[in-house]
Structure 1
């Protein structure tokens, strides 16, 4: 500003990430994409590829519209969910754990026995 103060800083990486998505570099530690936290319960990254999720959880989500699990959740809800919000899709219950920069960062997944399908609910 006119007084020499700094309001914010935007780097080239910030601009590129807005255009092409998250960029990993040699200084960033990659988060684990899946961690078992209990029987039939897992913490997964919202950036986990649909293809990898399908392979790991024996699922059959299409990756035509969304390529990540976070994208699948956004597609089904039609909006950005809040932390703690739940959505059931097929045999999975997804509970939103972390949101950052309008992206789903971490999700708790519970593999259900199959009685409820496509149910949405706020927690």
Structure 2
């Protein structure tokens, strides 16, 4: 059975890319293993390898729009804010990179990297109030929402970049996509010490899940090990609208795909909050 490092090297081979000899794709054997974790592979590990193989083979079937962070969930920076407020927002954010906009969130003028902000602050005579954020920001990279994940992954590796703004055929901003978003389609969730729980999702004491309507279905499936379909809709609100064939009112409830969906809040024609719980089994027929 191939190791995880072999799997990633095979992925690069499938994409026509050859990693440099001094590039470490994964930690040396043992470094990432818990102290009491056995070295041998069991059935779960073999299933994990099969899942990764399936993830690689499906890259050409999925598009950037399938995994991107939707524009309604994007967290960006207003270039017209006071410099010290921008610096604080960047350093307080759990994200390494954030889009920079001016005038409108659709007008992305750059991408701010926390490391570049720290580097600017280290310059002599520079204080948070004097940082010119537009000069610190990197040029944004715009990619079509119809780009296949296989092609986007190749582009990320070729350009040595991790972050792109997703636009539709008219150039309108649809969201953002990162290298990590694509890799998670292959290897599952990639967590580190700075990761936070899925935003817009809250576990309630009664076992139900309260979800913002803008949460992507794929993220919800990944976080909760669900299998809600995402072929006809991208967000959980879109799924409810598609399945109900209506724009539901508040307190309306629907049952499909083994879940009970209750509309908690609606703003104009947008479902902004839902409660989801397991569907109750039908009553047993009397004999």
1:65 alignment counterpart: 232
Instruction: State TM-score, norm by structure 1.
Output: 0.65
1:86 alignment counterpart: 253
CA distance in 2, matches of 1:102, 1:25: 24
Of 10, 26, 34, the residue aligned with 2:77 is 26
Of 54, 77, 84, the residue aligned with 2:221 is 54
Of 265, 279, 283, the residue aligned with 1:98 is 265
1:81-113, CA deviations, whole angstroms, 9 ceiling, x for partnerless residues? 00000001122111001111311100011124x
CA distance in 2, matches of 1:99, 1:21: 19
1:119 alignment counterpart: none
The structure carrying a bigger strand percent of its residues is: 1
Q: Which runs of 5+ in 2 are unaligned?
A: 1-69, 79-198, 283-287
Matched residue SS, 1:70: helix
* Larger Rg computed on CA atoms: 2
CA RMSD of aligned residues (A): 2.4
Q: CA deviation at 1:26?
A: 3.1
The structure carrying a bigger helix percent of its residues is: 2
Q: CA contact under 8 A between 2:213 and 2:274: conserved in structure 1? A: yes
Instruction: State TM-score, norm by structure 2.
Output: 0.30
Q: CA contact under 8 A between 2:250 and 2:263: conserved in structure 1? A: yes
The answer to which structure, 1 or 2, has the higher relative contact order (CA under 8 A, 6+ apart) is 1
Q: CA deviation at 1:24?
A: 4.6
Matched residue SS, 2:249: coil
Q: CA contact under 8 A between 2:228 and 2:257: conserved in structure 1? A: no
1:115 alignment counterpart: 281
CA distance in 2, matches of 1:57, 1:21: 22
Pairs aligned (count): 93
Matched residue SS, 1:105: strand
Q: Which runs of 5+ in 1 are unaligned?
A: 1-19, 117-123
Matched residue SS, 2:77: coil
The 1:24/1:39 distance shift into structure 2, 3 A limit, reads same
Matched residue SS, 1:87: strand
CA distance in 1, matches of 2:249, 2:224: 24
